[in-house]
């Protein structure tokens, strides 16, 4: 008897030891789905003696993600009616796509027509889009596109739909106007409007369109016929571009001295107009009125403009204006710049106690994070040098804890603590759609305009699982919650510092010998990873290439044709430019400055011993506020990228 027991145990041990490595009993179908272990999942599915509705759903979605549409169709045709009522529409949407992909168009259309009326709101846009693709007659396509437009909840979807719709309609001015207001440079929409009967809204849209494409004479013509502050602001700007400066000043002056909309922007335009010596006195007169009579941001901007326009013999008036600005607007960028300039002068003169006072004054509520990190870094330096050692330690502790991802935080503490996994403070339980495998629709439902922090965080996780190019814009919305202390979760940082367009970046890096982390650090600051980004100055695409620079780099790169909104082209040209700048500039921070402000300015800041300074002191050599902030941010970016990804 005992021998039989030993033999049985021995056989059991052998069976465990020699079980093939592809035993699927340990993991559930759900676990395999989330690991994208498609082969293991299919074997597991086929071995299940009894299957639940969730099993059918997960497997059909697994087939969908593998583009095995007929297999998905087979499951859904047999079992979709068993799904819970709130899940069934998503199963039928997947079945509709399966029919379309397997060329069963009649079935697809029949299902789309029945599904549209009963589907939840978030599906209607996609059902109508499927109908547009499936219909053959133009009238049917137009009807489907109108349903898409009715259910388009984002500007991107509206623009996409309108661009499909306009060529199929007979000069629909309502849709042309809608597109032109969303995309002011759209020439097709403008052309439709100019050939129709115009109302006031259309006249304004055309005026702004012509301004945006640089046809300022036509802009003035249309904007002269328009009412309201927006029309007045752009009419002034178009006149200024036509050198009709007195007209521009009168229009901007009216906006600056009364009302709110466009008031601050008008003050900024007047400050730029004052660069013309013939307009200087007139502009100063208007700015003085704004500084005296207005309050809020308009007054702050006017005071800053007046300070910059004071001559050498007007030091008393300049000091008076600075005092008023600091007193009335202590949290403004303009007050910060004044106090910072004074503090830096005291640091240079070795008057560290006075620098401490000024830096504490500059550390006002509402100061931007990267500016506050800069204040704290030099405040600790000044406290230490003025014998306030304990205060310096406390200041550095705040810098390390609250601003660890800035360049100043990393100069104070070179290593940041990264924990693997997701942030438990922001975690949201998987939704029911996720549990049934409808990940894309779960993602879309979580990205609604009023999403809370946990919903946004869950959408980031799903975006990563789906392999979407970047979830940076979602992560940016909750950045403060993801980075509030010195310990960071890897998944949070990977969302905030993504390796977007990875294959294109790696190819460009290999070709030009530029560090991948540097390319991503630049891209993050330039465009926030938006391939269609365009600045008012004309910089375009992921790395915000100016047309002239792109033309020069295309010759070096041997590109006979290129599109700056094509990610691969833009990354290649931007990296080529970084490589070219790096040949004459020894450090990456110098290249950053040159990329933003031109190599001539970067070399100017390196003169007279500038190239001997450490990073923190060299940043203070940069006389352009925009470029100084740019170098600070990109320097911080590249260090985070290196700590996050090097060796991974």
Under 8 Å between Cβ of 307 and 279: no
Report the C-alpha gap between 7 and 319 in whole angstroms: 98
Report the C-alpha gap between 587 and 609 in whole angstroms: 14
Report the C-alpha gap between 590 and 34 in whole angstroms: 44
pLDDT at residue 511, as a whole number: 96
Strands 487-489 and 417-419: parallel
Report the C-alpha gap between 196 and 194 in whole angstroms: 6
Helix locations, 213-351, DSSP H = 216-223, 229-241, 245-257, 263-273, 280-293, 296-309, 315-328, 333-348
44 is written with which tokens? 């597991």
pLDDT at residue 559, as a whole number: 87
pTM: 0.88
Residue with tokens 């004044």: 338
Q: Does domain 228-328 have CATH number 1.25.40?
A: yes
Buried b (16+ CB within 10 A) or exposed e, 479-507: eeebbeebebbebbbbbbbbbbbeebbee
Report the C-alpha gap between 399 and 416 in whole angstroms: 12
pLDDT at residue 647, as a whole number: 61
Kindly give the parts of the chain with pLDDT less than 50: 1-25
Q: Which of 272, 275, 311, 270 is nearest to 291 (CA)?
A: 270
What confidence tens digit (pLDDT) does each residue in 514-573 have?
A: 999 999 999 999 999 999 999 888 899 999 999 999 999 999 888 889 999 999 999 999
pLDDT at residue 45, as a whole number: 97
pLDDT at residue 648, as a whole number: 60
pLDDT at residue 16, as a whole number: 35
Under 8 Å between Cβ of 502 and 461: no
What is the dotted CATH code of the domain comprising 502-645?
Answer: 1.10.530.10
pLDDT at residue 567, as a whole number: 96
Under 8 Å between Cβ of 616 and 408: yes
- Residue 242: how many CB atoms within 10 A of its CB? 14
Catalytic residue among 434, 455, 474, 526: 526
Report the C-alpha gap between 112 and 130 in whole angstroms: 8
- Residue 461: how many CB atoms within 10 A of its CB? 20
Under 8 Å between Cβ of 299 and 328: yes
Active site residue 526: yes
What is the dotted CATH code of the domain comprising 29-180?
Answer: 1.25.40.10
């Amino acid at each position: 008897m005992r021998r039989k027991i030993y033999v049985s145990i021995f056989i059991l041990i052998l069976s465990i030891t020699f079980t093939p490595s592809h035993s699927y009993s340990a993991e559930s179908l759900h676990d395999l789905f989330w690991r994208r272990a498609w082969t293991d999942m299919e074997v597991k599915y086929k071995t299940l003696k009894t299957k639940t509705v969730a099993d059918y759903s997960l497997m059909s979605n697994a087939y969908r993600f593998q583009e095995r549409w007929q297999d998905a169709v087979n499951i859904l045709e047999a079992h979709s009616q068993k799904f819970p009522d709130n899940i069934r529409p998503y199963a039928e949407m997947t079945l509709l796509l399966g029919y379309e992909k397997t060329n069963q168009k009649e079935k697809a259309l029949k299902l789309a027509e029945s599904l549209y009326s009963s589907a939840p709101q978030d599906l209607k846009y996609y059902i109508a889009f499927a109908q547009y693709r499936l219909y053959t007659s133009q009238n049917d396509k137009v009807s489907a596109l109108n349903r898409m437009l009715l259910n388009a909840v984002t500007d991107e979807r509206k623009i996409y739909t309108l661009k499909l719709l306009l060529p199929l309609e007979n000069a629909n001015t309502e849709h042309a106007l809608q597109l032109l207001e969303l995309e002011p440079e759209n020439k097709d929409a403008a052309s439709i409007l100019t050939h129709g009967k115009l109302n006031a809204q259309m006249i304004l849209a055309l005026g702004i369109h012509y301004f945006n494409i640089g046809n300022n004479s036509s802009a003035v013509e249309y904007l002269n016929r328009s009412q309201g502050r927006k029309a007045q602001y752009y009419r002034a700007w178009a006149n200024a571009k036509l050198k009709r400066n007195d007209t521009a000043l009168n229009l901007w002056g009216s906006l600056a001295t009364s009302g709110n909309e466009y008031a601050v922007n008008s003050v900024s335009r007047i400050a730029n107009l004052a660069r013309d010596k013939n307009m200087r006195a007139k502009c100063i007169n208007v700015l003085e009125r704004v500084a005296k009579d207005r309050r809020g941001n308009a007054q702050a901007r006017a005071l800053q403009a007046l300070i910059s326009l004071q001559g050498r013999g007007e030091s008393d008036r300049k000091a008076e204006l600075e005092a008023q600005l600091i007193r009335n607007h202590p949290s403004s960028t303009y007050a910060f710049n004044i106090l910072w300039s004074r503090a830096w002068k005291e640091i240079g003169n070795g008057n560290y106690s006075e620098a401490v006072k000024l830096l504490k004054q500059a550390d006002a509520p509402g100061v931007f994070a990267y500016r506050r990190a800069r204040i704290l870094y030099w405040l600790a330096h000044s406290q230490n040098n003025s014998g306030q050692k304990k205060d310096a330690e406390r200041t550095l502790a705040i810098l390390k804890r609250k601003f660890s991802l800035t360049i100043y935080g990393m100069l104070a503490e070179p290593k940041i603590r990264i924990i693997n996994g997701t942030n438990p403070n922001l975690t949201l339980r998987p939704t029911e759609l996720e549990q049934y495998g409808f990940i894309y629709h779960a993602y879309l439902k979580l990205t609604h305009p009023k999403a809370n922090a946990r919903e946004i965080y869950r959408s980031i996780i799903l975006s990563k699982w789906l392999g979407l190019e970047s979830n940076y814009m979602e992560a940016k919305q909750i950045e403060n919650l993801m980075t509030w202390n010195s310990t960071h979760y890897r998944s949070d940082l990977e969302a905030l510092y993504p390796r977007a367009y990875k294959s294109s970046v790696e190819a460009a890096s290999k070709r030009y010998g530029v560090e991948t982390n540097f390319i991503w650090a630049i891209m993050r600051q330039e465009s926030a990873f938006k391939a269609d980004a365009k600045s008012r100055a004309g910089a375009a695409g992921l790395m915000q290439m100016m047309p002239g620079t792109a033309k020069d780099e295309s010759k070096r790169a041997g590109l006979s044709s290129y599109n700056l909104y094509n990610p691969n082209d833009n990354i290649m040209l931007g990296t080529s430019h970084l490589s070219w700048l790096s040949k004459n500039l020894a450090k990456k921070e110098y290249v950053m400055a040159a990329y933003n402000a031109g190599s001539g300015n970067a070399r100017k800041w390196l003169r007279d011993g500038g190239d001997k300074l450490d990073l923190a002191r060299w940043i203070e050599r940069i006389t352009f506020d925009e470029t100084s902030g740019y170098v600070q941010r990109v320097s911080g970016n590249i260090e985070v990228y290196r700590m996050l990804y090097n060796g991974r």
